[in-house]
Amino acid sequence: MDDFIQAPGSIAGTNEIRLAMLGMVDGNGHPYSWSAMFNGFNREEMSKCPYGAIPEYLEKEPPETLRIKGASVTHIWTDDPEDAVKVSKAALIPNVVQSPKDVIGKVDAVIIATDKGNEHVERCRPFVEAGLPIFVDKPLADNIEDLRVFSNWVRNGAKIMSSSCMRYCKEFMPYRRSVNNLGKLCYASISTCKTWERYGIHAVESIYPIMGPGFISVRNTGSADRNIVHLKHSSGADVNVVAINNMYGAFGVMELLGTAGYVQTALSDTFYSFKAQLEAFIKYLTTGIRPFPFSETEELMKIIIAGIASREQEGREIALDEIKI
């Protein structure tokens, strides 16, 4: 097989949206995988990716369905300069820059590919000021002060989109369309590994499109490594979110229980979720229409913030109305 995997279409095509992939933090290999979904990849160089699952799922995709149409990653910057060189070789990115600001004037939009919410305001600020659209990896923010900044930017016209890939999980999609066969939804649960601060949003945003807006309160009776979080929804349903640090084998396991039936399902296709998420961003750039209201992102961030506060306050139930933006 060829060493070079690229879907049909010119990366340098004049009609393509030029993207910058910016930032790389511990435990997160998105610059490798996300860039490959736009550009294609070099098999030999991608095999050196420190996150083994990434080349594994990329290899499964045929070239004709690998790449997202209409855009390419033309510039890369990472916190460790050596990582940028490695990603550029693996994902065929032509330009490595020395500073994130170096991409201003050279790209049409930027992707902030880091998942530490307390860093995102400062990572995004130069591009908001430059008027560039931004996709921000989940969670957008993990504290109220930063959420207020983002909300103010969006109110003033900034094009900022943020989501978990789990919003687009195909295994959960049927239940986003309807859960009527379950009767009245009474209870739901969803699990994740790692921390509430960085991965809790994966679990919460899995459930959110099914239940819709209207979460009332959050209570976290767990610890930093074992977050056991109870959410109350205005529909009357209860949700348990479990985020246990080393529970990698049970990431994205969902249960929905209603008065007339139940369902159990789980994430199995990471590539699909990531690609659908990034395609939604490109569609937003080309149409100007958000794939979902920013108010949903605000509510989701309130849930994450309330979960942190509840844990720090020995499990106090925190109403989302307490979090003012």
Task: Please report, for residues 132, 262, 266, 301, the alpha-carbon distance to residue 250 in angstroms, rounded to integers and kept in the order given.
Answer: 37, 19, 8, 23
- CA-to-CA distance for 272 and 270, rounded, in angstroms? 6
Predicted pLDDT of residue 50: 96
**Residue written as token pair 């910058």:** 20
pLDDT mean across residues, the chain: 95
CATH homologous superfamily of 4-163 equals NAD(P)-binding Rossmann-like Domain (3.40.50.720)
CA dihedral 87, 90, 95, 97 (to 10 degrees): 10
Specify the 3-state DSSP secondary structure of 204: helix
CATH topology of domain 167-271+301-322: Dihydrodipicolinate Reductase; domain 2 (3.30.360)
pLDDT of residue 13: 39
Query: How high is the pLDDT of residue 15?
Result: 78
Whether 229 contacts 218, CB under 8 Å: yes
Q: Is it true that 4-163 and 167-271+301-322 share their CATH fold?
A: no
Distance CA 39, CA 52 (A): 19
Determine the angle formed by the axes of helices 120-129 and 144-155, rounding to 10 degrees: 20
Instruction: Break the chain into its structural domains and give their ranges.
Output: 4-163, 167-271+301-322
Handedness of CA 114, 115, 119, 121 (dihedral sign): positive
145: exposed, middle or buried (Cβ count in 10 Å: 0-12, 13-18, 19+): exposed
Q: What are phi and psi of 248, to 5 degrees?
A: -65, -30
Beta bridge mates, 284: none
- Per residue in 122-153, pLDDT tens? 999 999 999 999 999 999 999 999 999 999 99
- Where the chain has pLDDT below 50, the residues are 1-14
CA distance 287 to 169: 23
Per-residue pLDDT of 279-297, as tens digits, reads: 999 999 999 999 999 999 9
> What sections of the chain are H helices per DSSP?
30-39, 43-46, 53-59, 63-66, 81-90, 120-129, 144-155, 173-177, 196-211, 270-287, 294-312
